[in-house]
Amino acid sequence: MTIGKKGLVNRQLIIVIAIIPLLSGCTVPFFGGYGAKGQTLEEFSHYVEKVFRFQNRMTSEVMMLQDSDDIKKSEDLLKAEQTMQHVCTPLNEYVSRDIDGLNIGLFLRQRVEKSAEDCEKSAQELQSLLERL
């Protein structure tokens, strides 16, 4: 089976059209917006910043408790903090690269988009443990 010149050109055009949005880091997703809630880019950017600040605050609170010796080291608290750090890795990597002026690739952006809500939930779980102490 041979593909005519017109069929080959059409196939190449379809491939190019499909790849262009992937190469641009500033495109709107094909369906539903950004993040799990389908937000606009601006809304999602504010949300991600809020999550980053929140998880950073939780990390600081755990560090202060450990440094002050006000409480004995809680295994649950340390485990929750480690889980949060793991879940929030893409977000922290994104911010670190942004601060250093390094390239933030499409795949990292997608990982942040997929993990932001889980990062927030993990930070909320840690906050809940901290409030009980």
**How far apart, in whole angstroms, are the C-alpha atoms of residue 76 and residue 82?**
10
pTM: 0.71
pLDDT for 128 equals 95
CB within 8 A of 68, min separation 6: which ones?
none
pLDDT for 8 equals 46
Which residues of the chain are under the pLDDT cut of 70? 1-32, 67-73
State pLDDT tens for residues 88-110: 999 999 989 888 999 888 899 89
